[in-house]
Amino acid sequence: MNEKNLFLDLNVLQTVPSSNINRDDTGAPKTAFYGGVTRARVSSQSWKRAMRNYFKKEKVTVGTRTKEIAGYLAKQIQILDNTLDEKTAMDKAVAILTAAGIKVKKDKDTGKMATGALLFVSPGQINKLAEYALNHDKIDNKDDKQAIKQIFKEDNSLDLALFGRMVADNPELNVDASAQVAHVISTHEIMPEYDYFTALDDLQADDTNGAAMLGTIEYDSATLYRYANINVKDLIKNLDQKDALESITAFIKAFILSMPTGKQNTFANKTLPNYIMLTLRTDTPVNLISAFEEPVTTQNGYVKKSIEKLQNAYKSANQLVDEPLFNITLSQVDLAKDKEFNQVGKLTELIEQITTALTKAIADENINN
C-alpha cells in the first residue's frame, strides 16, 4: 500500500464577551480587515502560547524557548556533576552549542551568555547535551558535531514537535512544525469600544473630589472562528509513533479549552466553544474561513448563523477535495440532524471517537513508516 498523508482539521466557533485577550502595541485589541469589514483578531502566537501553558497545567512535558540556552545547559551539566564550578560548566555548554553551529556571546545589558534569537529545546535534548558534554573533554571533530546535531533532532517535547523550531544560525537544527494554528478572526464585523474608568483612593476623605487614577481601556466582543490542523505523518516523524495518538488528544483538548489571558482579570471573559468540528482528511487540510468572507449580520446573536455558514462551507469544500475519512461535531446549540455531521453530546465522547478513527486511519493509510 502506498504511503499517504493524514490531516486533522480543527474548526471551533467561540463567542467571547467584552474582552481584550490579545493586544497590539497601543494596548488595543488586535483586528483584521477581511471581507470588507473590520474583524476582531487573536494572533496564532498568542493562542499557541495559551496552549503551551495548558500543556504545563496538564503535566504534559514542554520545551523551553530562551536566549540564555548556555546558562540553561550549564545548570543541567552541574546537576549531573555537582563537582563542577560555574565557569567550567559554562565553558562546556558553550563548546556544545558552538559545535552545533549556534552562536553564543555575552549580552551587553545582562552580562550573560546569550544567543541572538530564542532557541527552542526540549528537556530530553538538554539532558542528552549535558551528558555528552560530561563524557567528552574535547569537542573538536566532525563526529562530535554530527552527534550533537543529532541530539537536537531527537526527544522532541510535544510543543516542539507540534510548532517546530527554526534556527537561523544553523538550519540543520530546524524542526518542521506538524501543526498549523491560524490567526483567529470574528465571523462578523466588530466595532471597537472604550471603557472609561476611575479609581478612588481608599484613604482619601469621603468629601474629597476627584479620582486618584483614571483612564480608558479598549475592548470588543465577538463570535470567533478558530482553526488549526495537524499533519499526523509529520507528528509521528517528530515523535515516537506510540506517543502520537496521546499527543493529538492533548493538542485537541488544549486547542479547545485554552484561551489567551490578556486582561482576563479585568473582563472575566473565559468562555467555552459553542461549536467544534473535527475532520480527518487524506488529501489536504482545509481552513473554512471562506464561510465568513461575507460577514454574518444579525440582530439576534451570531453563533447559530455562524454554525450554519460553517457547515455550508464544509459541504462546499467537499465538492472540491476528497471525501473526508471522518467528521465529528459537538455543539452547545441545538441543531437539526444532518447525516454529514456526526454529532456527539460530550467532549469525552468526541475525544474517544476521533481517537478511534485516528487509530484506524493510521493503520489503514500506512502513514507510520
Is 212 within a domain? Answer: no
Is 349 within a domain? Answer: yes
- Shared domain for 232 and 361, answered yes or no, is yes
- Shared domain for 53 and 90, answered yes or no, is no
CB 247 within 8 A of CB 239: yes
Helix (H, G, I), strand (E, B) or coil at 245: helix
- Shared domain for 254 and 314, answered yes or no, is yes
Q: Give me the mean pLDDT over the 160-178 stretch.
A: 94
Mean per-residue pLDDT over the chain, rounded: 93
Going by pLDDT thresholds of 50, 70 and 90, the confidence category of residue 3 is: low
Is 200 within a domain? Answer: no
- Shared domain for 141 and 43, answered yes or no, is no
Residue 185 clears pLDDT 90, i.e. is over it: yes
Is 127 within a domain? Answer: yes
For residue 80, the tally of other CB atoms under 10 A from its CB is: 14
The predicted pLDDT at position 1 comes to 42
The Cα–Cα gap between 153 and 342 comes to: 39
Structural domain count, the chain: 2
Distances (CA, A) of 31 to 22, 158, 191, 327, 354: 10, 30, 10, 31, 33
Q: Give me the mean pLDDT over the 134-140 stretch.
A: 88
Task: Give the DSSP H/E element, type plus range, for residue 98.
Answer: helix 86-99
pLDDT digits (tens, 9 = 90+) for 106-130: 988 888 999 989 999 999 999 999 9
- Shared domain for 41 and 111, answered yes or no, is no
Residue 238 clears pLDDT 90, i.e. is over it: yes
Higher per-residue pLDDT: 197 or 80:
80
The predicted pLDDT at position 326 comes to 96
Where in the sequence is the domain holding 151, given as residue range(s)? 65-156
Would you say the C-alpha torsion 14, 16, 21, 26 has a positive or negative sign? positive
pLDDT digits (tens, 9 = 90+) for 317-361: 999 999 999 999 999 988 888 888 889 999 999 999 999 999 999
Which pTM was predicted? 0.92
Share of the chain above pLDDT 70, in %: 97
- Shared domain for 71 and 28, answered yes or no, is no
Is 216 within a domain? Answer: no
- Shared domain for 119 and 248, answered yes or no, is no
- Shared domain for 359 and 231, answered yes or no, is yes
Residue 258 clears pLDDT 90, i.e. is over it: yes
- Range with lowest mean pLDDT among 34-48, 67-81, 133-147, 253-267: 133-147
The predicted pLDDT at position 213 comes to 83
CA 39 to chain centre: 21
Is 193 within a domain? Answer: no
Going by pLDDT thresholds of 50, 70 and 90, the confidence category of residue 211 is: confident
Torsion of CA 102, 103, 109, 112, to 10 degrees: 60
Q: Give me the mean pLDDT over the 41-45 stretch.
A: 97
- Range with lowest mean pLDDT among 199-203, 206-210, 300-304: 206-210
The Cα–Cα gap between 156 and 175 comes to: 9
Higher per-residue pLDDT: 336 or 60:
60
Going by pLDDT thresholds of 50, 70 and 90, the confidence category of residue 242 is: low
By CB neighbour count within 10 A (0-12 exposed, 13-18 middle, 19+ buried), where does 363 fall? exposed
Is 168 within a domain? Answer: no
Is 262 within a domain? Answer: yes
Share of the chain above pLDDT 90, in %: 80
